[in-house]
Structure 1
Amino acid sequence: MADLSPRPERAATSRRERVAEEHRLAREAYDSNVPLRASNVREPLHGAAADVVRDQLREPTDLQVAIGVAQQLLDSDNVPALQEALRLLLRAHDAEPTTRPAVVEPPALRCPAAHPEDPTPCGGPTVVTILDAQNSGANGCEHHGARLLASLDGSRVYPLPDAPEQAAIRVFKAADTLPPFAWLENAPRTRPEQRSHEENRRRGEHR
């Protein structure tokens, strides 16, 4: 900070001289602070200094933001994040689609006994093994185990070691009431081999 105390080479002899000396020192202090005033954004700026402050205060455009996000995600394998980066780029160019594509849910994991054409979900954990007449088997929940058991001639059901009590019995009883390939809702059910064991017993027929 500049020293504003008047220190002329010779002592001021009058009040007028002392006032003039103080004004001179004040002007020198003002001139010495020009760089500080130029860096203050509240002061009017011109030329290169104004360009620097303007660039610092300028808001980035939508396109600049979108490009920055895309550059950061260039090597990413995060699909939702990549989709968002593309959406920002499209929006910056006024090309964002009016409707979002439908979200495709991945297929739910089901037990091995579930037939590929059977759309129903599992009815619980995998608890039984279904064996066909050639002893080829598949593990399944009670729901799909019963549907598979009802669909295979000469098939049998066995509980897995950690199955709850009477799981195999419940599967066996449920399969008795189901027609083969129960998921085929419009399949004909006129012949014995197309109907459930329970219905055939009521009719006095066997499949």
Structure 2
Amino acid sequence: MIHTSIHTVDNPAEPSELAVAIRIGQYMLHQYGTVDTADVFAYAQAHGGLAESLRILLRALGAAPTAEQQAAPRCPAAHPDDPTPCDGPPVVHIHDSANAGAEGCEHHGAQLLAVIKDGRSVALPHAEPGTASRVFTAAASIRFFASHDGGGR
């Protein structure tokens, strides 16, 4: 079956996938190109919007990333040698005794807290109530990560 369409001034042709992707990209860049990084929710929303518009653009160009290239980014608290994935977005900031630290998902936040001396977990503004306590409690009962030779505390 051959699909035909009539193109008139009143019925312009549908825009191409690339034209749509470009317009979405322009819109997202206008909406989220500059975001107050102190506003974690706005920053996360901007990242998601820009990442999705880039995926749409790459798909329209026939250059969509492979499954291997789409590995989920890991939170800053994840140790490079830890093979486990994040269990969600960063929800806590783990601080050491000098007040240095990193943001992490509950899983990696607890693992980091398990190996630092005099550490504490502080929930990020968007985290559910009780998140910091759950991370702190989990850290008390786990090793850093299963393949880590140094053990926990």
* TM-score of the aligned structures, taking structure 2 as reference length: 0.52
- Paired residue for 1:141? 105
Q: CA 1:161–1:79 in 2, change beyond 3 Å: closer, same or farther?
A: closer
What is the percentage of aligned positions where both structures have the same residue?
48
- Paired residue for 1:124? 88
Per-residue deviation, 1:139: 0.7
Higher relative CO (CA 8 A, sep ≥ 6), structure 1 or 2? 2
- Paired residue for 2:39? none
Per-residue deviation, 1:125: 2.1
Per-residue deviation, 1:153: 1.2
- Contact 2:91/2:123 (8 A) holds in 1: yes
Aligned residues: 91
Matches within 5 A, 1:24-39: none
Alpha-carbon displacement from aligned partner over 1:153-205 (angstroms, at most 9, x marks no partner): 121110111110100000001000012x32425x26xxxxx445xxxxxxxxx
What one-letter code is carried by the residue in structure 2 that aligns with 1:182? F
Larger Rg: 1
| In structure 2, C-alpha distance between the alignment counterparts of 1:138 and 1:112, rounded to whole Å | 6
State the SS of the aligned residue for 1:130: strand
The two structures, once aligned, show a CA RMSD in angstroms of 2.1
* TM-score of the aligned structures, taking structure 1 as reference length: 0.40
- Paired residue for 1:156? 120
Matches within 5 A, 1:44-193: 78-79=62-63, 105-106=68-69, 107-179=71-143, 181-185=144-148, 187=149
Q: Which has a greater percent of helix? A: 1
Structure 2: gaps spanning 5 or more residues: 1-60
- Contact 2:111/2:142 (8 A) holds in 1: yes
State the SS of the aligned residue for 2:122: strand
Per-residue deviation, 1:116: 1.1
Structure 1: gaps spanning 5 or more residues: 1-76, 81-102, 189-193, 197-207
- Contact 2:91/2:124 (8 A) holds in 1: yes
Q: After TM superposition, what 4+ stretches of structure 1 lie above 4 angstroms from structure 2?
A: 77-80
